[in-house]
Chains A and B, each alone.
Chain A
Amino acid sequence: MEEKTNWMDKITKLDRRWIFIMVAVAVIVPIILGKTFPVNISPSVQSSYDYINNLPPNSTVMIVCDYDPASEAELYPMTLALFRHCFDKGLRVFSFTLWPNGAALIEKAFNTMKMEYATNPMYPNGLQSGVNYVNLGYGVGGALVIIAAGQDMGTAFSMDYRGNSTGSMPIMEGVSTLSDINYVIDLAAGSTIDWWVAYGVQRYHFVLGAGVTAVSATQYYPYLQTGQINGLIGGLKGAAEYEQLAGHPDRALAGMTAQSSVHALIIVLVVISNIFYFLTRKKGR
């Protein structure tokens, strides 16, 4: 009997390294197999997609990348999916970041797009910085940058990431403040969406969408219900939904199988630990 209790005790106090190995296998195997499955589209992602999809060509979209390499796994695929959708629709894309380490990621994403659209008939000269898109780099001052851009884009961003003057760029035509941007979407790893709602939408009345990491998605549902944001792309799942809607399956959809297997593993582990917890408790009585 004691031997049985010891065995159950060992299971409940399983060495964490075994769990780490199981998680590693659950992540690596689906990635190696490379199988993807379709995802269910949530209304909040559909809403962002529809809004961009219905914008006429040459409209302006501001994709704010408020994240750094730590959240790259979730938010970078989202950035690429949004960029692709905008360029497919012939929209002008503005981007900047309130995070110091985010500017280089934006540049990397635009460079990826430049390669993808190098031979696209929609862009005979390829995607051009200052014409089809502009990386406005890192905006110093947090929420103040939002207010400054709301007052005057030229003052807030006098130069782009590469140090070119934005004043003479064709992309800036008809854009003097944030209110002139047709759609702003903040991809955030922190709390910048609160700033965008309080200092941006409430003051300058533009349409805002949001993309966030999965852990913080629940925080922003109240803004969605009140209409302060019109769409919410949550985590890798949200990015996968967007990729599916835009018809460009990529990293996010590929990652969903690994995420499914890790979720399933965690659930199995939790169920097992609870079963043994109750069994040992019963024995203890």
Chain B
Amino acid sequence: MIVRKSDRVLVQGITGKQGTFWTEQMQAYGTTVVGGVNPKKAGQSHCGVPIFATAKEAMANGGFDVSVMFIPPAAAKAAAIDAIEAGAKTVVCLTEHIPSHDVMEMHAAAAEHGTRIIGPNTAGIVTPGEGFVGIMPAFNPRVFQPGRVGVISRSGSLGTLVCLNLVRGGHGQSAFLGIGGDPMIGTTTKDALAALIDDPGTDAIALIGEIGGSMEEEAAELVAKTDKPVVSFIAGRASPPGKKMGHAGAIVTGDRGSYASKRGALERAGAVVVDVPGDLPAALDALMAEAAKRSGAQRLAD
């Protein structure tokens, strides 16, 4: 889930305006882009890499690990399933407004082939100093610096703000994991948290959530079990009641989903939840100092 320099990246929709702009940004940052997909321009090259008709053709001609989709909503299902069936390890789906039934078909195909989908509606993933996949300003040194704090965010814009605040407070990032703003995403807050807990390069975690769904409550189960400090901000406290959930929808999530529910679950699990994003670095400093003291005491005891 954490992007590495060794990951070979395929760009689906590479020749479009956004596909071109962000492929150039990814390449300049050091991401290993090995090819692109556009059935109408197969055989040509673009941004210095070959264009294939399909992801399957790209897999047969040199291979790739991660696919990133610059594809409009109506064509997204076919593109994602092409990458999944080709054997992609990870598909980063940036597209917003994909019909939900198409999204469920993508997830079913991914489950069958063992592919991880990140998104839909994600801004992507960044490993400062190594590479990035998606549409995050990885190249902005005020926002991203190599470091030891892992960041999880549903939102790209809020994730950018949080990373900016961390760098300003002296904390670089081990990884930024943008998981996406859609209701049915392939990589949940809990999945991303598990990856950061396992990552030896991550000392502490900033978990950025939003109202709606129950992903933060589910992630709280892992927060309670880890020794790594977790700070959090949940967006939407001042939002009016949003989209009305159907009654039958409410049964699936019970009474979870509100700001109070999320904050309560995370605080009970030991996370520090701040009122404004600008308070994240100070909260992190305090928790990390405490953790350092604990591990120092542990070493003395040993």
Partners in one complex: no
Please give the residue numbers on chain A whose beta carbons come within 8 Å of chain B beta carbons, in ascending order: none
